[in-house]
Structure formats: C-alpha cells, structure tokens
C-alpha cells in the first residue's frame, strides 16, 4: 500500500464517507416525520381526503428513507469502537451516556411505533395511529437533540475533568449536555432538516404541477413547502449567523478557515472567491468586499479578527475544503430565501401554481437541502481538525490499534455496498416520487405493501375499523 | 452503596439477551427463507416480522451504545479485536434490513432482494456467533488496548459458535412461524423446528464441553464445591426444556415451542455468564476495571430506570397490536 495511506487517513475517510451517507437520511426523515404528522393531523381535523392521499404518498417514501437511515446508523454506532478505540476509551464516560440516552429516548420510540405507523392503521384506528405518527416524529427530534449534544461537546467541550487513566470524566452534566455551541447547532440542524424536506416536497409537488396544475395533493405539497421556505429559510440565515458568532468565540481557527483569512488584523474583507493554499499560507485569486467580514463577525468595520497564522501550522484545519464548503452552504441558503420570496410574490398575484418558471426552479432546488447539509457538516467537522475533542484530543491520537490494510479493506467494501444498496434505495424513492399523487400506486403482481396501504385507508375512510 | 458496575453489567447482558432472542427470530426467518417453497409463504413469513424487526434491532444498538457508555474500556478493546466479524455483521444487517422495503418497491429485482435478505441474515448471524466465540476464547490485551492481530478471532472454536448461532436462530425463526402461521407454512415450520432443534441441542452440548477445556478457570466455575450445587441444574434444565420443546412441536401450533426455545437461549446465556463472571473482557478485564466512573453510570441509570419500563411497555404494545396468526395475503403487507 502507498505510504501516505495511513490507518489514520483511511479511518478518517471511512468515517467521513459513512457519516456523509448517513446524515442524508436523518436530515430527511426528521423533516418528513414532522410533515407526516402535520398531514395526518390536518386530515383528522378537516376530513379532507387530499391530505390523506398526500400522507400516504410520503409515508411510502418515508419507509424507504427511514430503513436506510437505520441500517447506515448502526454502522456509525459501532465505528467509534472499530476505528477510533482510543477515542472511545477516553470520551466514553462523557459521551457514552448521551448516546445511551439517544438510544433509550429516541431510537426505541421511533422503532417501536414505526411498525404501527406503517402497517397498523386498520388495527389500532385513526387516533392511536396518529399518536404513533407523532411518537415517530418526536423520536426523530429527540435523536437530533442527543446526537447534536454529543457533537457539540466534541466541538466546545465543557463540564469535564480528566482522570488518571486519561479519560474525560464528568463534573457537571448540565454543562456537558448544554455545552456552549449546542443550542446554536441544534437549532441550525433542525431548521436544516425541515428546509431539506420542504424543498424535496416542494420539488416533487412542482414536478407534478408542471404536468397537471389541478392535482390537489401536488398543490398541497407545493404550497406548504413554499410557506416553509418563506418562513424558515430567513430564520435559518439568522440562526446560521448566530452560530457563526458562537464559533468565532469558541473555535476562532475554524472561522479563520471559513473566511480564508490568514493575517490577524482589522477591516477584514469578505472573500467571494479565493483559492486558499495551506503551503503558501495565503490565497490565490482573491475577490472580496472590503471590511465586510469584520462587519459581519464583529459588527464593526475596524473589528480585529484572528488570522490562521496565529496558530502553529499543525493546529490549523485544512483551509480549502472548509472555505469552499462554507460558501456552497451559504449560497444555497440565500437561494432558498430567494425561492421563498418569489413564491410569496407569485402567491399574492394568485399565480402560485401557474408559474412554470417558479415550478422549474423548485424542481431544480429539490436536492439543494441535502447539498447544504453535507456542506455544512464538512465545514463543522473538517474545520474542527486536527482534533476530535477540540483543543484536547488530537485525531491522530484517537485511533484504534488497527492496521491500515484492515481499514482500507473495510472502507472499500463499505463504498461498494453503500453505492449498491443506497443507490437502489434512491432509485426506489425517485421512482415513488415520479408516481402521480392521487392515483393508485403501481401494483406489481401479487399482494404488495403499496396495495395494502391503499386498501387500508380506503376502508378506513369508508367507515372506520374492520376487526 | 449500590454496586453500579455490577448492575450495569447485568443490564447490558440483559439487553444483549433480549437482542439475541428478538432479532434472533427475525434473522431466523431470513435463514429459513430460501427453504420456504412458494412466494406466498415467503411473503407471509416476512410480513410476520416486518412491523417489529426494526425495534428488535434497536436492542443491538443499545448493547453497543450501552457498552460504550458504561464500560468504555471494554468497548475500546473488544471492537478492534472483533473488527472483521463486526464489520461483516454490519454489512449483513444492511443487506437484510433494506430488503424489507426494497423487495416491494423493485420491479423485476425482487429475487435479488430476497437473496439479499437471506444472505444478509446468514452472514449477520454467523458473524455474531463468531464474535461470541472469539470473545469467550479470550482476547489479547496490553495496557488499555487490544494487542492481537486482526485475524485472531478466526479459530475452529469461533467457527463452531458461528454455526451454532445460525442453527439456533433458525430454530427461533421456525418456532416463531409455528406460532404465527398455520396451514402448509405452519406444518413446514414444525418440520424445520424439529431439525434445527436437534442441531441446536447438539451444539449447546458441544460448545459447553469445548468451553470447559478452553481455560481451567471455566472448568473451576462449573466444578468447584459448593458452586456446583447452583450451576448443576442448568444442564438438566436444558435437557428438560429440549424434551418439552420436542413434545410441544407434536401438538397444536401455538406459542409453546417458541417460549421453550427462548428458554433454551436464556439457559445458554446464563451458562455463559457463569463461565465468564466477573470478566467483561474474558480473563483480562473485570467489569469493575472497565466501568466508567460512577458519575457516568448513575447519570444514565436515572433515565434508564424510567425509560426502560416505558420501552418494554410500548414494545409489548406493538407486539400485541400485531398479535395472532398471519393469514396469507392479509392486511398489513
């Protein structure tokens, strides 16, 4: 094996790869679970069949996405041990209980009620079924709460001590769970999940509206999604800004990398384009707005911001990746705000469903949330390097005593398997999204889930339980 | 003062046992899958576990997450030692897990996802058995880290335990089907239950003897006086239960064979506990040495004491909602 392929690099690649694949599904299912609960609630409240049709449509997609989230998540929970054993030993007393709470309060809740949500309507009736849907939605939010607490503690550790075995131990649980960056990260990620789902739902709705403007479920999807974009996307910009200021306070090196900012000084420009270079300790091809970064970060054009050169070379995060991921995320955020405003104008003119241009833009933007979420996580995770626990435990010192070939082999197998399995899953989801909402789903020979859902709900709508 | 490490060791062991029983029967359905004759039977068998498999698998996450939380040193030593079987198990679980949804959604590739379900279930079961065997036979430790190579787990003993678990899970799956189905599929399940039961009992005996010869301390745990008075009933209970299982398979197709099989698993697990106690990394690290500080253990215990009964409650409810015999083509595919 080539020499640069160290166990550390491979283990990092494996973690980045598996976690990037995984994050897509929770981001989607957090938003979708809440959306399903709202749809079912609206159906129960209004009795309008179109909500039920929309619910049923997204439930099938949810089932596939959730299944992929579960299996890719199990991989994550064991990877701490297989590739990052020293990290696991040292942080276990602090982070283990938080993950334990995630399993106990979130995973079991989701898994326990998922079966009823997917297959139980006929058996438990409308109200209990709605409760099951709510429990699944609440479970996904609990999960976000704990996993973001864990991640935030690694970014901004608090409330800990260190024992004689070199393990982190807890001095104050309150300070550990509600560590300095946690509230910002939780809000930012939850909004991101809702936006991601909104743009997928809006894109699918727009796609079907472009073919048939009168399709009721498609109109419901598109209208609800555009409300979300209008309200939540600007909120996200504010939350993102607050998160950025928090990062500046606790992880200034990360912010310097996000800004591509090398020399400490005032009147720092906001770079729109640059090619940061770790070796040369500077940027090529800079285009920037003078003093704007100082204004944004310090709310003062003369505000002094630390540059990367303030840190020794070995303590700096890789700048290029962080710099560009950050720009991708921010650009998508502003595009989302733009779509929201556009939809408002169209709505006020009474042409929300009649504008093909808006519809096409919404279709194009359907995957944008996923890209923004991935870019955002790259900013926060790569920006934290070279540490696993910020300032305290280096990534290089977190590794398992495993040999590079073992990590390389498992990485290669994960890559192949993920592309096959999740590729197939994505095809099934896209195929489902191509089905026109409101028509009976494609029914292959033999009894299918799709057919069963249909009959379940039709029977239920016709007159309650059949036992 | 409560002995928190001991309490947690019992809790984690219980979580793993619950996992083995619950995911055991739905993995067992996957193992038996290719032996079922018609598509209708396969659909029925799969649908009998579709609403619950996800909850079953969550116990595995609790086992892993719980170990990380309460015995981080053991987690950090065991995972690198079991690197290959753990990764293969995860891959197996991926393939079988997605099959539950994918086989209904694919056009023309349904057979492929059926294979994915079967092979994934077999690989996951086999690797869990291998991991168990590798764990029992001992793990090289130096300082606070695993000190062996990445193929140390591969021995005749671990292959034996791997095979044993596949057969054992198949028995759990077969008796689950005996309970949940009727007609042709039910009768078929009875036949599979008989075959796999013979295999399971033979493996229990074989592995018990092999374990005793692995380390004199295992032998001592079973033969020292007066401990022998407490442990001797275990093998007798196994024999009695096996007899009861065989008899119950000849009668009505109901829950008794499944409960008897669960009994066999519980007894084997208790037997394992007797051999290993008080080690969490066999013969190297005890539960007290590996335990996280009391502050971590008590923090998680407070919530667990409240949440675990709740989990058991709604899990039980979910099983109750889907109670009764499956009928071919019925409701909730």
For B76-92, write each residue's pLDDT tens digit: 889 888 988 998 999 99
CA of B107 vs chain A CAs: smallest distance (Å): 7
| Residue pointed to by tokens 């297959």 | A119
- Structural contact between residues A122 and A116, judged by C-beta atoms closer than 8 angstroms: no
Q: Which two tokens stand for residue A415?
A: 């890559």
CA of A288 vs chain B CAs: smallest distance (Å): 47
Vertex B287 angle, CA B286 and B291, to 5°: 125
Which residues in chain B have Cβ-Cβ distances shorter than 8 Å to A73? 61
What residues have CB less than 8 Å from B294, skipping those under 6 apart? Answer: B4
Statement: residue B332 has pLDDT above 80: no
Does A439 contact chain B (CB < 8 Å)? no
Q: Express each pLDDT in A395-427 by its tens digit.
A: 888 888 777 888 888 888 888 888 888 888 888
CB-based contacts of A114-117 (< 8 A; 24+ apart in sequence): A114/A66, A114/B54, A114/B55, A115/B50, A115/B51, A115/B52, A115/B54, A115/B55, A115/B318, A115/B321, A115/B322, A116/B51, A116/B318, A116/B321, A117/A59
- Of the residues B56, B105, B108, B110, the best mutation for testing chain A's interface (the one with the most A CB atoms within 10 Å of its CB) is B105
Mean pLDDT of B1-8: 88
CA A293 to chain centroid: 26
Nearest CA in chain B to A81: B79
Q: How many CB pairs under 8 A join A and B?
A: 262
B 34-63 residues inside an 8 A Cβ radius of A: 39-40, 43, 50-52, 54-55, 57-58, 60-62
Nearest CA in chain A to B100: A67
Nearest CA in chain A to B88: A410
What residues have CB less than 8 Å from A354, skipping those under 6 apart? Answer: A213, A346
Which residues in chain A have Cβ-Cβ distances shorter than 8 Å to B87? 82, 410, 413
What residues have CB less than 8 Å from A136, skipping those under 6 apart? Answer: A33, A36, A37, A109, A110, A113, A114, A117
Contact B331 A122 (CB under 8 A): yes
Give me the pLDDT at residue A451, please: 39
The mean-pLDDT minimum among A332-336, B173-177, B224-228 falls in B224-228
- Of the residues A60, A108, A161, A444, the best mutation for testing chain B's interface (the one with the most B CB atoms within 10 Å of its CB) is A108
- Top-ranked range on mean pLDDT: pick from A71-80, A84-93, A116-125, A137-146: A137-146
Percent of chain A with pLDDT over 70: 93
Secondary structure (3-state) at A163? coil
First to last CA, chain A: 63
Give me the pLDDT at residue B304, please: 92
Give me the pLDDT at residue A456, please: 47
Q: Could you say which DSSP state residue A105 is in?
A: I
C-alpha–C-alpha distance, residues A384 and A260, integer Å = 15
Mean pLDDT of B281-310: 90
Statement: residue B30 has pLDDT above 60: yes
Which residues in chain A have Cβ-Cβ distances shorter than 8 Å to B151? none
Statement: residue B328 has pLDDT above 80: no
Q: Which H or E run contains A277?
A: strand A270-277
Statement: residue A222 has pLDDT above 50: yes
The answer for A166, left when phi > 0, alpha when psi is -120 to 50, beta otherwise, is left
- Of B106 and A173, the structure prediction assigns the larger pLDDT to A173
Statement: residue A452 has pLDDT above 80: no
Residues of chain A by 3-state class (helix, strand, coil), percent to 5:
75, 5, 20
Mean pLDDT of A273-292: 81
Which residues in chain A have Cβ-Cβ distances shorter than 8 Å to B52? 115
Report whether the peptide linkage leading into residue A455 is cis, meaning its omega lies within 30 degrees of zero. no
Q: Which two tokens stand for residue B65?
A: 């997450």
Does A8 contact chain B (CB < 8 Å)? no
Statement: residue A153 has pLDDT above 70: yes
Strands (E), A101-202: 160-162, 168-170
Vertex A419 angle, CA A192 and B53, to 5°: 75
Statement: residue B3 has pLDDT above 50: yes
Which residues in chain A have Cβ-Cβ distances shorter than 8 Å to B78? 81
Give me the pLDDT at residue B92, please: 93
**pLDDT band for position B274 (cuts 50, 70, 90):** confident
Does A174 contact chain B (CB < 8 Å)? no
The answer for A113, left when phi > 0, alpha when psi is -120 to 50, beta otherwise, is alpha
Handedness of CA B253, B258, B261, B267 (dihedral sign): negative
Which residues in chain A have Cβ-Cβ distances shorter than 8 Å to B146? 85, 400-401
Statement: residue A3 has pLDDT above 90: no
C-alpha–C-alpha distance, residues B267 and B263, integer Å = 6
The residues with which A287 forms a beta bridge, in sequence order, are A273
Q: Express each pLDDT in A15-47 by its tens digit.
A: 888 888 888 888 899 999 999 999 999 999 998
* Residue from B266, B294, B263, B206 nearest B13 by CA: B266
pTM beyond cutoff 0.95: no
Q: Express each pLDDT in A224-253 by its tens digit.
A: 999 999 999 999 999 998 898 889 888 888
Strands (E), A139-193: 160-162, 168-170
- Structural contact between residues B54 and A70, judged by C-beta atoms closer than 8 angstroms: yes
Q: What is the mean pLDDT of chain B?
A: 89
Q: Which of A78, A80, A97 sits opposite B299 (nearest CB)?
A: A97
- Of A205 and A119, the structure prediction assigns the larger pLDDT to A205
The mean-pLDDT minimum among A197-201, B22-26, B95-99, B198-202 falls in B95-99
Give me the pLDDT at residue B330, please: 55
Mean pLDDT of A6-15: 83
Percent of chain A with pLDDT over 90: 34
Give me the pLDDT at residue B194, please: 94
| Residue pointed to by tokens 């999940």 | A193
Statement: residue B187 has pLDDT above 60: yes
Task: Count other Cβ atoms within 10 Å, centred on residue A374.
Answer: 19
Q: Which of A71, A89, A100 sits opposite B69 (nearest CB)?
A: A100
- Decide: residue B226, CB within 10 A, 0-12 exposed, 13-18 middle, 19+ buried: exposed
Does B64 contact chain A (CB < 8 Å)? yes
C-alpha–C-alpha distance, residues A241 and B298, integer Å = 38
Give me the pLDDT at residue A396, please: 82
Mean pLDDT of A61-75: 85
The mean-pLDDT minimum among A266-275, A428-437, B237-246, B286-295 falls in A266-275
What residues have CB less than 8 Å from A100, skipping those under 6 apart? Answer: B62, B65, B66, B68, B69, B70, B300, B303, B304
Give me the pLDDT at residue B15, please: 92
Does B90 contact chain A (CB < 8 Å)? yes
| Rg of chain B, C-alpha, whole Å | 20
| Residue pointed to by tokens 């739902």 | A201
Contact A428 B106 (CB under 8 A): yes
Give me the pLDDT at residue B329, please: 58
Contact B296 A94 (CB under 8 A): yes
Give me the pLDDT at residue A188, please: 95
Give me the pLDDT at residue A75, please: 81
What residues have CB less than 8 Å from B201, skipping those under 6 apart? Answer: B238, B242, B264
What residues have CB less than 8 Å from B68, skipping those under 6 apart? Answer: A77, A80, A81, A88, A92, A95, A96, A99, A100, B75
Give me the pLDDT at residue A92, please: 85
Give me the pLDDT at residue A76, please: 80
Which residues in chain A have Cβ-Cβ distances shorter than 8 Å to B61? 73-74, 77, 103, 107
A 29-68 residues inside an 8 A Cβ radius of B: 63-64, 67-68
CA of A28 vs chain B CAs: smallest distance (Å): 17
| Residue pointed to by tokens 């909120």 | A235
| Residue pointed to by tokens 């008989």 | B194
Statement: residue A134 has pLDDT above 70: yes
- Of A123 and A336, the structure prediction assigns the larger pLDDT to A336
Mean pLDDT of A104-116: 90
- Of A429 and B121, the structure prediction assigns the larger pLDDT to B121
Give me the pLDDT at residue A131, please: 92
Statement: residue A465 has pLDDT above 70: no
- Structural contact between residues B116 and A119, judged by C-beta atoms closer than 8 angstroms: no
A 114-143 residues inside an 8 A Cβ radius of B: 114-116, 118-120, 122-124, 135
Contact B83 A402 (CB under 8 A): yes
Q: Express each pLDDT in B5-22 by its tens digit.
A: 999 999 999 999 999 999
C-alpha distances (whole Å) from B151 to each of A51, A362, A381, B30, B135 are 55, 52, 32, 27, 13
Which residues in chain A have Cβ-Cβ distances shorter than 8 Å to B280? none
Statement: residue A212 has pLDDT above 60: yes
**pLDDT band for position A444 (cuts 50, 70, 90):** very low
Q: What is the mean pLDDT of chain A?
A: 85
What does the DSSP assignment read for A238-272?
HHHHHHHHHHHHH-HHHHHHHHT--S-BSS--EEE
Q: Which two tokens stand for residue A457?
A: 């709900």
Contact B66 A100 (CB under 8 A): yes
The residues with which A387 forms a beta bridge, in sequence order, are A394
- Decide: residue B158, CB within 10 A, 0-12 exposed, 13-18 middle, 19+ buried: buried
**pLDDT band for position B126 (cuts 50, 70, 90):** very high
- Structural contact between residues B81 and B134, judged by C-beta atoms closer than 8 angstroms: yes
B 289-308 residues inside an 8 A Cβ radius of A: 292-293, 295-296, 299-300, 303-304, 307-308
């Amino acid at each position: 094996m080539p020499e640069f392929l160290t166990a550390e690099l491979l283990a990092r690649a494996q973690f980045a790869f598996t976690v990037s694949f995984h994050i897509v599904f929770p981001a989607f299912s957090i938003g979708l679970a809440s959306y399903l609960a709202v749809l079912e609630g609206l159906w129960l409240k209004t009795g309008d069949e179109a909500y039920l049709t929309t619910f049923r449509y997204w439930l099938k997609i949810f089932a596939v996405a959730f299944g992929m989230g579960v299996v890719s998540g199990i991989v994550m929970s064991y990877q701490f041990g297989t590739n990052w054993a020293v990290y696991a030993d040292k942080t276990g007393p602090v982070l283990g209980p938080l993950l334990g709470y995630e399993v106990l309060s979130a995973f079991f809740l989701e898994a326990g009620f998922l079966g009823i949500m997917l297959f139980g309507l006929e058996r438990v009736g409308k109200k209990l079924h709605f409760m099951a849907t709510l429990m699944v939605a609440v479970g996904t939010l609990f999960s976000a709460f704990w996993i973001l607490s864990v991640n935030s503690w690694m970014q901004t550790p608090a409330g800990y001590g260190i024992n004689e075995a070199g393990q982190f131990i807890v001095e104050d649980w309150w300070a550990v769970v509600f560590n300095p960056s946690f509230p910002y990260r939780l809000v930012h990620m939850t909004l991101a999940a809702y936006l991601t789902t909104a743009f997928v739902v809006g894109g699918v709705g727009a796609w079907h509206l472009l073919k048939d403007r009168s399709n009721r479920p498609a109109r419901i999807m598109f209208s609800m999604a555009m409300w979300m974009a209008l309200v939540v996307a600007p909120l996200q910009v504010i939350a993102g800004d607050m998160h950025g200021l928090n990062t500046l306070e606790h992880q200034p090196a990360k912010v310097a990398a996000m800004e591509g900012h090398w020399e400490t000084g005032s009147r720092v420009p906001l770079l729109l384009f640059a090619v940061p270079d770790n070796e040369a300790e500077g940027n090529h091809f800079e285009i920037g707005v003078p003093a704007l970064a100082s204004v944004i970060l310090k709310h003062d054009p003369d505000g002094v911001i630390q540059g990367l050169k303030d840190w020794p070379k070995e303590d700096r995060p890789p700048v290029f990746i962080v710099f560009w991921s950050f720009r991708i995320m921010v650009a998508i955020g502003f595009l989302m705000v733009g779509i929201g405003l556009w939809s408002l104008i169209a709505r006020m003119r009474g042409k929300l469903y009649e504008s093909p241009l808006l519809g096409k833009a919404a279709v194009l933007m359907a995957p944008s949330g996923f890209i923004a979420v991935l870019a955002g996580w790259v900013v926060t995770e790569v920006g934290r390097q070279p540490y696993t626990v910020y300032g305290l435990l280096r990534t290089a010192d977190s590794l398992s005593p495993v040999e590079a070939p073992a990590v390389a082999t498992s990485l290669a197998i994960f890559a192949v398997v993920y592309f096959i399995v999740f590729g197939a899953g994505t095809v099934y989801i896209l195929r489902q999204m191509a089905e026109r909402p409101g028509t009976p789903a494609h029914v292959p020979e033999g009894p299918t889930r799709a057919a069963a859902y249909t009959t379940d709900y039709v029977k239920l709508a016709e007159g309650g339980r059949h036992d | 003062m409560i002995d928190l490490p001991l309490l947690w060791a019992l809790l984690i062991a219980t979580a793993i046992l619950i996992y083995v029983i619950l995911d055991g029967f739905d993995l067992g359905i996957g193992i038996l899958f290719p032996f079922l004759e018609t598509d209708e039977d396969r659909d029925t068998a799969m649908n009998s576990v579709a609403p619950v498999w996800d909850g079953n698998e969550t116990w595995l996450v609790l086992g892993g997450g719980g170990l990380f939380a309460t015995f981080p040193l053991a987690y950090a030593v065991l995972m690198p030692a079991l690197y290959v079987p753990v990764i293969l198990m995860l891959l197996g679980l991926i393939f079988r897990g997605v099959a539950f949804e994918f086989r209904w959604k694919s056009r023309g590739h349904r057979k492929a996802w059926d294979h994915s379900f079967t092979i994934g279930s077999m690989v996951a079961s086999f690797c869990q058995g291998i991991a168990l065997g590798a764990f029992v036979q001992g793990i090289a430790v130096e300082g606070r880290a695993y000190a062996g190579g990445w193929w140390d787990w591969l021995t005749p003993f671990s292959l034996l335990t791997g095979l044993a678990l596949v057969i054992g899970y198949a028995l759990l799956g077969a008796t689950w089907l005996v309970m949940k189905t009727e007609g042709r599929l039910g009768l078929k399940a009875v036949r599979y239950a008989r075959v796999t039961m013979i295999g399971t009992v033979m493996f229990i005996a074989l592995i018990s003897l092999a374990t005793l010869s692995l380390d004199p301390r295992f032998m001592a745990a079973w033969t020292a006086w007066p401990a022998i008075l407490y442990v001797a009933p275990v093998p007798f209970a196994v024999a009695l239960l096996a007899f009861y299982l065989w008899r119950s398979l000849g009668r009505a197709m109901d829950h008794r064979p499944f409960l008897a099989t669960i009994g066999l698993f519980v007894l084997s697990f208790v037997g394992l506990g007797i051999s290993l106690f008080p080690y969490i990394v066999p013969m190297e690290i005890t539960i007290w040495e590996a335990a996280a500080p009391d502050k971590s253990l008590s923090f998680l215990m407070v919530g667990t004491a409240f949440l675990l009964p709740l989990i058991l409650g709604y899990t039980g409810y979910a099983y109750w909602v889907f109670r009764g015999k499956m009928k071919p083509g019925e409701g909730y595919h």
